[in-house]
Chains A and B, each alone.
Chain A
Amino acid sequence: MPTGLASYAAQVVPARAQMGSSLGFHIILACMGIAFPAIVMIVHYLGLRRHDDAAMVLARRWSRVMAVLVAVGAVSGTVLSFDMGLLWPGLMGRFGSAIGIPFSFEGIFFLLEAVFTAIYLYGWDRLRPWTHFWTLAPVVVSGILGALSVVAANSWMNQPSGFTLSHGRITSVNPVAVFFNGATYYEVPHMLLAAYMVAGGITATPYAVGLLRGHRDRYTRLGFLVPFVVAAVATPFQIGVGDTAARAIASQQPVKFASMEYVPRTATHVPEWIGGVWFNGHAVAGISLPDVDSLLVGFSPDTKVTGWDTVPPALRPPFPTMIHLCFDFMVGIGTLMLLWGLWLALWWWRRRDLPGGCLGKVFLGGGALSGIATVLAMECGWVVTEVGRQPWVVYGVLLTSRAATTASGVIGTLAATVAIYLVLTVATFAILWVMKRHWDAAATRADVPVPYSPSAKPEVRS
């Protein structure tokens, strides 16, 4: 395998760029695939149990959105599985037998998800209402288990375990230890909760805009409240899991942690940097909280935190500024989501209503931004975990440069990948826009649709 700067620039950089853009695009759809069915299930339940037409209309419309997102997600997921072989044959050829184990379990759940999604999407009006409702349950469960499997594969790259190497070849594998490696227990819940926050934020966004524009009807309020509450409930758990994860990374991948927190030298009384750019060996323009990083890592200012000086420069991740700022951004969005959730909880407790008053618009404005904010926070989290692991693809075992393909033409497929994802993004938004216009037109034709005649009794509560 050729090494050196030229081949690095020609093979590794475009391969990483293509993997990054594929994953960055697919992960948004994956979040919707994992968590959106649960949100749909909640409104569907409300619609059936309370004979709530507004909830029923939401369930129907969201299931159409789900049809589009699930289809695009299925194909972008396939591209990722091809990318694993096309871009990283050095990883798959040597470690496929280990990393493939969680992926093959994911296959089971992907199949179940696809089948029951099809039954749910095309079963409206055909199946008995409650039977139809329950066909979504396997989708929710297999979404969770599928995420568990895929994230277990990623956490194995961070904490490889369960295999013996001899002369660079895997000679024995312990599948359970591969699946439940040292990073599974925090990475999986972190991603699952992120999926619920992202899906909640994205779904709440258009309805927050509707509320801001003065549509205060039950349909719009429910469309905002259900997904936003899902995201808000996930947030405090997410902050707890994230805190645990950061402490685990400090001990498992100390160099990644050092880049996240600007720790150049191993020391005690390490300050916590909020913001700031790493320039010329110093953090510039950030806020430094003395001793706080040591406190967070070991609950005492005397805790020793490992710096990146413990490894030679070639084994340190690139761009500490990007890693650190991404980490800060992710934490910042999580904190804001927590505040917004508490804000909503307070008003609901006192007034049984959305936050109003002079700051009501600020609350809704935040709600309208929650989709893009949670997506960016999640993408930042992936940047931290993936860029922070560099130059390793399998931490401590295999360098990324040794995993990349030797085939020429990655530049071409990278260009095609980026172009296609741009077109797909634009087209997805265009389709959602077309659907929305259609729904608006339907709403002016008749205000009370009949979801399940004749069993449902139209009854609009306010």
Chain B
Amino acid sequence: MIADTLAAVIIAVATAYAALAGADFGGGIWDLLAGSAVRGEVPRRRIDQSITPVWESNHVWLIIAVVLLWTGFPTAFAAVFTTLFVPLSVAALGIVLRGTGFAFRPHARTLRWQATTGGVFATASLLTPFFMGTVVGSVVSGRVRGTNGDPVTSWANLTSLLTGGLFVAAGAYLAAVYLAVDSDRDRQPELRRYFTRRALVSGLVTGAMAGATMVQLRTSAPAVFIELTTGRGLALVVISVLAGLAVLVALTLDIVRPVRPLAVLAVAAVVWGWAISQYPYLLPPGLTIAAGAVPRAVQITELVVVGIIVILVAPSFVLLFRLAQSGRLAEAEGPRPGSGPPGGGPPGSDAAATRASRGQAPPRGRHRGQPRSSGRLWPIAVAAVVIAVWRLRRRGTGAR
């Protein structure tokens, strides 16, 4: 039971990573698709403003998930990282390139340099989620069976590639939704329409990819497919479809504000649908959660760590996103004579009047820098955990 809880916690962390960092990768994809330097300037700036202050905090969830996995389920971790050496190496490469792009881009003052660092950032945003998706596809279709799996066909197969595509599409979809909401909040109607269109298209593509992956699972992972269509996972598939449809309807009617939690729900339900349909297997078809578990003291320690994270880190995240939403975070800048905005007053008093200066390149406009807030994700993540634990409890004993 403790091992099950730990597995559920790892999935919850992975969901947070997908909902937060997945969208940051998606932002990179829209950056890649934004066209020429001139045409894409405005949306690219919007993407920059939304992602720059929060991407690093969002990224840390990946490290938490990796560390929890290697501590809580070390044999599975070793098997995954040996068999899937290639896609995981490429994903790590993408992470390095993307982070570097973020770090260096604000300082790349000439256009050519900005294009280079931006290109690196955008390409990396495509690589990392795709190859992480192939990893999940390989696990779910039972291709990781110990440390001597095939180094190529374990991930270069239809299920894995489809899952990779699904990850890319889902990230782009979440990003388009978040960016549309951000544009709406900052009263940028043209940008809102720009990203709403993209959210609609990518939402349809994501739905199609999810459907195709599911059909493919019918042959590559029949047990999971049965659970998804007639068993434990069915409710979550239904939730995902309904939430996805609700987003599409709302966006078509030009209602933007409430779509963010719905879009997150649609994506989170897919993650949990996968996890619950695969239960009780860690690495199907052989390794169960119970068999892959570590001594009890370690599991309890890991749950304590997660407890500390919930108590300490969650409020910090809420603070970060609150500050970001109220316009009190903007890129640091060297002091410039005469440009010092009022900072002595109470916080928020001049928030609306205070503009975020973006770098010091002259052509940059006077947009208010209001990075994305994702504070509302927490209730959804908590609800997902509750639903999952409830379902596992009900089914857990029978399934074993």
Chain A residues with CB under 8 Å of chain B are 56-57, 60-61, 63-64, 67-68, 70-72, 74-79, 81-86, 89-90, 92-98, 100-101, 103-108, 110-112, 114-119, 121-129, 131, 138, 170-175, 405-409, 413, 416, 420, 424, 427, 431, 434-435, 438-439, 442, 445-446, 448-455
Contacts and interface: CB of A to CB of B under 8 A. Distances in A.
Given A86-B85, A118-B56, A122-B330, A96 B77 contact: yes
Interface centre among A63, A175, A452 (most CB of B within 10 A): A175
B379 interface: no
Nearest to B91: A82
B319 A115 contact: yes
Interface stretch (B235-243, B254-262, B294-302): B294-302
A81 B62 CA distance: 10
Interface stretch (B26-34, B100-108, B195-203, B276-284): B100-108
A98 to B, nearest CB: 8
22 contacts: A64-B333, A67-B332, A74-B99, A75-B99, A78-B96, A93-B77, A94-B74, A101-B302, A115-B57, A117-B56, A118-B320, A121-B331, A122-B330, A125-B330, A407-B83, A407-B85, A424-B100, A431-B104, A438-B334, A449-B335, A452-B340, A452-B343
Nearest to B82: A89
Contacts of A100: 67, 70-72, 74, 298, 302
Give the interface SS of chain A, mostly helix, strand, loop or mixed. helix
Interface stretch (B169-177, B212-220, B308-316): B308-316
Interface string B56-71: 1101111110111011
B346 A128 contact: yes
A442 B344 contact: no
A97 B71 contact: yes
B343 A125 contact: yes
Interface residues of B, number: 87
A17 B82 CA distance: 18
Interface of B: 53-54, 56-57, 59-64, 66-68, 70-72, 74-75, 77-83, 85-86, 88-89, 91-93, 95-100, 102-104, 107-109, 147-148, 151, 294-295, 297-298, 301-302, 305, 308-309, 312-313, 316-317, 319-320, 323-324, 327-338, 340-344, 346-347, 351, 354, 360, 371
A74 B98 CA distance: 11
Nearest to A446: B337
A88 to B, nearest CB: 9
A94 B74 CA distance: 7
B81 A86 contact: yes
Given A78-B96, A93-B77, A420-B96, 18 more contacts: A71-B102, A72-B99, A78-B62, A85-B78, A96-B77, A96-B294, A104-B71, A107-B64, A111-B309, A121-B332, A122-B371, A124-B333, A127-B347, A170-B295, A407-B82, A424-B96, A431-B107, A442-B336
Contacts of B294: 96-97, 170, 173
